[in-house]
Amino acid sequence: MAERSRTDWAERAKAWAATSDAGRSLDDTFNQMIIAEAAIAPSEMVLDIASGTGNPAVSIALAMEGRGSVTCTDLTPRMVEAARMRARNLGLPVMRFVSADMAALPFASDTFDCVTCRFGLMYPGDKVAAAREARRALKPGGRAAYLVWGAYGENPSFYVPQRAVAAFFGEDEGPAADRHAMSAPGTLDEILDGAGFERTEERELRYLRCVEDPRNYVASKLKRSFTAKIEGLSDARFNALSQAVMDAWAPFTEDGTLLVPNTARLGIGWKPA
């Protein structure tokens, strides 16, 4: 991955680590979908790539019943340390932690039963090469499961604050972020096929997140995704920005609960036996 990307992620990691869950994921739905769709079973050796602060690695480890192993990796050591802290809080001895670039994994070939990656494959320049590296680390007959975000316009968790923040500062909304670059159906299949996986399949995943503390949700999102924008803002100005975003969420709010639709695509491929 390019050095500029490493620097960018290192900066983002500060905010992500500061707002990370301390233990179990507050929103575990996509994690559980990955576990179910990839048919991850206790006693398996699982490699989670681009784990961030531990998703879905922590959820996978909780499902392992004390058997097998879950190796949690991320490009930035600060993210890995946040995941390690979560595992320590939850008492998860099956977890291992390594700072690693998905394009150059520091693991021997034919090591893992399953590779997972939640919202990471959108970022490397050569996505096929990154998937091929995951295939190398898999045992023959092992499988990889990649989750990527769906279209920008179908994920209000991104477009609602993006538009509200832009309006607050009198700026243009700007283009959709790279996180949505793989939202077109068939994109994951093509990448996995190109990386040498077989029996590849791709499907759409949707769910509705119920947020019972919208103000905390909005504040955390602002700190994670708009770090440069909010840096140096007075408390009054930050509160005004938060209220502007809260107002933008009004169409998705019922009786004080925020109902946030989420759309993603999951691709699964198998390493030839």
CATH value at residue 16: 3.40.50.150
Helices (H) and strands (E) in the chain, counts: 10, 8
Report the relative pairing of strands 257-270 and 253-254 from DSSP bridges.
Answer: antiparallel
Is there a domain that residue 36 lies in? Answer: yes
Q: Select from 49, 57, 65 the least CA-distant residue to 28.
A: 57
Report the relative pairing of strands 95-99 and 69-74 from DSSP bridges.
Answer: parallel
Element (H, E) at 235: helix 235-248
Q: What is the distance between the alpha carbons of residues 27 and 9, in angstroms, rounded to a whole number?
A: 22
Q: Select from 1, 24, 260 the least CA-distant residue to 129.
A: 1
> Using one digit for the tens of pLDDT, what is the confidence trace for 132-160?
999 999 999 999 999 999 999 999 999 99
**All residues at 6 or more sequence positions from 49 whose CB lies less than 8 Å from its CB, including other chains:** 73, 100, 102, 105, 115, 116, 117, 120, 134
Is there a domain that residue 129 lies in? Answer: yes
pLDDT at 20: 76
Amino acid (1-letter code) at residue 230: I
- Going from the C-alpha of 61 to that of each of 71, 87, 114, 230, the distances in angstroms are 9, 9, 13, 35
Is there a domain that residue 229 lies in? Answer: no
Q: What is the distance between the alpha carbons of residues 224 and 13, in angstroms, rounded to a whole number?
A: 9
Give the residue numbers spanning the domain of 70.
3-152+177-208+263-270
Domain count, the chain: 1
> Rounded to two decimals, what is the model's pTM?
0.93
Encode the chain (273 residues) as per-residue pLDDT tens digits. Answer: 444 466 676 666 666 767 778 889 989 999 999 999 999 999 999 999 999 999 999 999 999 999 999 999 999 999 999 999 999 999 999 999 999 999 999 999 999 999 999 999 999 999 999 999 999 999 999 999 999 999 999 999 999 999 999 999 999 999 999 999 999 999 999 999 999 999 999 999 999 999 999 999 999 999 989 998 999 999 999 999 999 999 999 999 999 999 999 999 999 999 999
User: What token pair was written down for 191?
Assistant: 């990448």
Is there a domain that residue 69 lies in? Answer: yes
Is there a domain that residue 47 lies in? Answer: yes
Is there a domain that residue 170 lies in? Answer: no
> Using one digit for the tens of pLDDT, what is the confidence trace for 115-125?
999 999 999 99
Can you list the positions of beta strands (E) in 21-90?
Answer: 45-49, 69-74
Q: What is the distance between the alpha carbons of residues 245 and 153, in angstroms, rounded to a whole number?
A: 17
Is there a domain that residue 250 lies in? Answer: no
Is there a domain that residue 233 lies in? Answer: no
